[in-house]
Chains A and B, each alone.
Chain A
Amino acid sequence: MSKPQDVQLSTPNLADYMELPAPYNTIESQPALKEPKGSWTESNITFLDGYAGIENLVRPKTKEEEREFVEKFLSGMEKSFSDDTNRGMIMPLLLSFEYCAKCHTCSEGCHVYPASGYNELYRPIYRSEVFRRIAKKYLDKDGKLIKKWDENDPDLNWETLARLAELAYRCNLCRRCAQQCPLGLDNALLAKEIRKIFSQEMGIAPKPLHEKGTMNQLKTGSSTGMSKPAFLDVIEFIEEDIEEKTGRKIKMPIDKKGADILLIHNAGEFMAWPQNPAAFAILFEEAGLDWTLSSDILGYDSVNYGLWYDDYQAKQIGTGQFKVAKELGVNRIIIGECGHAHRASMVSMDRGATGSYYVPRESFLPLLWDLVRTGKLKFDPSKNNFPVTLHDPCNYVRSMGIVKPQREILKVIAPQFREMTPHGVDNYCCGGGGGFAIMNNLNFAEFRNTLSTRMKFKQILDAFADTIENTEIPKYICAPCSNCKGAIRDILEYYGATAKYNLQYDGLVELMVNGLASLDRPYLEFLLDEED
């Protein structure tokens, strides 16, 4: 890791990667990899594995700058091991830090490591061990810094830390490795703690997560940069769209004081997939729910990217979202199709940002299953009579234990529903987790499209193996999470799989609306195209 920066530790090579199933089982059937641009190699950190994801991780120009960089990292590491500055995570951190038996049980649990053809850099404990060895050298057993950086330290220099920073963004934080650990230790947590040191102490984080993400959200109300007037415009557009597509005139309630439900969407849905909030509106109205959206700052975007890299940012956003609900006087918050927003709001912020801002939070999944189960929503499953598979967002299943409602709904509405292998709580990450889905900066998207999503793409192809070559049959990947959906959209585009093999994707609510007995025309775009 401390090798000079002109040494790249590994080079991406499709021939080394895990083989994909047919029809992508040859290297020729996959897009060729691109060389990183010269400027990125010069200014950024492609010397880990040929990829770069952090713009403001730039080479120090002088030895003094290098010293400042390393010492800042060490001071951040000390804060990470302090029960004063890292109160919320000190116990989980110390346990995962201290007890690893290096039995490699976690390795097979990971999706990136096997997908890479067992590239050592991506082994779950590789980054943990680099971090562990630095910490053991520079901190005492109480986590106090015991020495200043030694410039001649063969193991610690700018290159080591730059590689470590990038390496923290080669883990999706999906925690599948932790599920398999006999000691209950969590390499994803260590990856996140490394990200935290860089962000919270050094201000170093990928632009899409920090500058354009949480900072933008705190300033404008949404990580998309969408302001209140823009949000209101979008809602108007969605209402028109609903009428055009379904013939129904729906007025989406906004800022309705005292409503039962405040529904918060990932704002990415408004921009990229407006059919999703529209589908929610159709279902909620049909079921006669008392609901509202909020146009308040932080009230119309459920995302909380801080979850992946910065506790402070996470708490700021979480508190803001709860405050909006409190002021509206709603009974509960329902989180729409966004996995990390679910976890941030319902789990991660539960002990940190609640208190006087306490408002009960729920997932949309049990609510919708209740509406299906009790007959408040009626379906004609023949409308969804094409192969459907379900991607389980890690945050719903592994981090929250919401496993059954989505499957129960699909069993009712989709006669050709089939599971991926493995699925449920044992699922594989979509490859977009931990922030990757929105990291299209530098050349990071290629890492995501070829490696971190590789296992998911394999699972998708396997799930549709019986019909993949039949382009007449649409095959639907139900991805009820905005970020997962984004990652899957990008895989399908990258491999041309929609055009070539009629692989389609969208959320759960769109499929539900498409299957509504009361609707007289298809809701899913690809079915409309077929009709045309």
Chain B
Amino acid sequence: MFLVIFLYIAFLAFIGFSLKKAYDFAKMPMHGRWELYPVPKEKGRGEYGGSYLEETKWYEKPRETSLVAEIIDMAKEIIFIKKLFDNQRPFWWLSYSMHLGIYAMIAWLVLLFLAVFIDSSLLNGLIALAGGAGIIMVMIGSIGLLIKRMVNPEFKMYTTGLEYFNLFFLFAVAFTGFLCFITDPMFQYGHDMMGSMLTFFPFAPSALVTLHLVLAGAVIIYIPLTKMSHYVGKFFSFHKVLWDNDPYLPGNEIAEKVAAGKSYKQKGQWSAPHYPGNQKIEN
């Protein structure tokens, strides 16, 4: 039962810490414009990197944006990690293996949840496929990245101890999961775990499964506390910085935010001599 409670805590911690991170970014002051093209939402222009600034008197014309184009671009990035695929193929194979494996493990959890309510051999087959493929891909991806970072001087030079640990942690979860998978290819332990989580009926996992689930729970708590929470950061980097090209127009939402921001009284000051009041008096 402790394991079930721990897993609940892990999921709640994951959601809570991730939301806290998102909240911390969201409440930051409105920043200066720092957009970077192509901005996919620019209707009819996103593909070649154009913007509304290509128009004369753009401020008198209606803004035309395309949510569909933005979603397609986001989907390519989320599903395929497209920028990495286009620009850094050797690294993409390993990174994509790991990320796709994580997606498969999320799908595995959803399928296990459905299996509590639906008794279907197809569903059970899909659970085995998603779980097996997911765990193998995470394992290959994480150990591959770990080795690459350890042996390739280009990567080794920039990788910190914590970054090695993060990859090792993911590998440890995947490896114990893999050992569970080869002893239980249909993931009976997964069914039992999900059943127990929904009914609070105790289940008795083996020592290996217990170890795997404890590690998995720990990594789920750990991820949002580290830079592996880039699923949060990436949203803000793209949506709130690189694709945020909304202009100031008198009376619009940006103008209201700018006006609101002006009431802020700065407490500190930079110290260079060209700041007012910082000039040194020469004797």
Contacts and interface: CB of A to CB of B under 8 A. Distances in A.
A313 interface: yes
B48 A425 contact: yes
A181 B32 contact: no
A80 to B, nearest CB: 9
Given A105-B83, A426-B49, 19 more contacts: A88-B31, A95-B233, A96-B237, A101-B227, A105-B88, A120-B157, A183-B230, A184-B241, A184-B242, A350-B248, A354-B258, A355-B262, A358-B248, A362-B53, A366-B55, A366-B56, A401-B42, A401-B49, A401-B52
A312 B38 contact: no
A428 to B, nearest CB: 14
A401 B28 contact: no
8 A-B pairs closest in CB distance: A401-B51, A425-B49, A184-B237, A200-B270, A203-B272, A401-B37, A182-B83, A88-B32
Question: Which of A92, A125, A313: most chain B Cβ within 10 A?
Answer: A92
B77 interface: yes
A403 to B, nearest CB: 5
A104 B91 contact: yes
B89 to A, nearest CB: 10
Contacts of A425: 37-38, 48-49
A400 interface: yes
Interface string A282-306: 0000000000000000000000000
Contacts of B240: 91
Interface residues of A, number: 81
Given A89-B31, A99-B234, A201 B271 contact: yes
Contacts of B31: 87-92
A213 to B, nearest CB: 12
A201 B247 contact: no
Contacts of B97: none
B59 interface: yes
Contacts of B37: 397-401, 403, 425
Contact of A79 (B50, B83, B268): B268
Interface string B265-276: 011111111110
Nearest to A365: B54
Interface string B18-39: 0000000100111111111111
Contact of A403 (B50, B157, B234, B259): B50
A90 B233 CA distance: 13
Interface string A163-195: 000000000000100111111111001000000
Interface of B: 25, 28-39, 42, 45, 48-59, 77, 81-84, 86-88, 91, 95, 154-155, 157-159, 163, 227, 230, 233-234, 236-238, 240-242, 245, 247-248, 250, 254-255, 257-259, 261-262, 264, 266-275
A72 B45 CA distance: 46
Contact of B268 (A85, A185, A199): A85
Interface in A178-225: 178-186, 189, 199-203, 210, 215
Given A354-B258, A402-B50, A184 B234 contact: yes
A102 B264 CA distance: 36
Contacts, number: 218
Contact of B54 (A76, A90, A366): A366
B266 A84 contact: yes
A186 to B, nearest CB: 7
B57 A360 contact: yes
A191 to B, nearest CB: 13
A252 B252 CA distance: 36
B157 to A, nearest CB: 8
A181 B83 contact: yes
A347 interface: yes
A496 interface: no
A182 B38 contact: no
A397 B36 CA distance: 9
Contacts of A215: 274
Contact of B267 (A84, A347, A424): A84
Interface in A86-129: 87-92, 94-96, 98-105, 108-109, 120, 125, 129
B241 A92 contact: yes
Given A183-B237, A358-B250, A425-B48, A370 B56 contact: yes
Contacts of B39: 401
A83 interface: yes
Contact of A351 (B82, B258, B264, B272): B258
Contact of B269 (A85, A88, A120, A399): A85
A108 B87 contact: yes
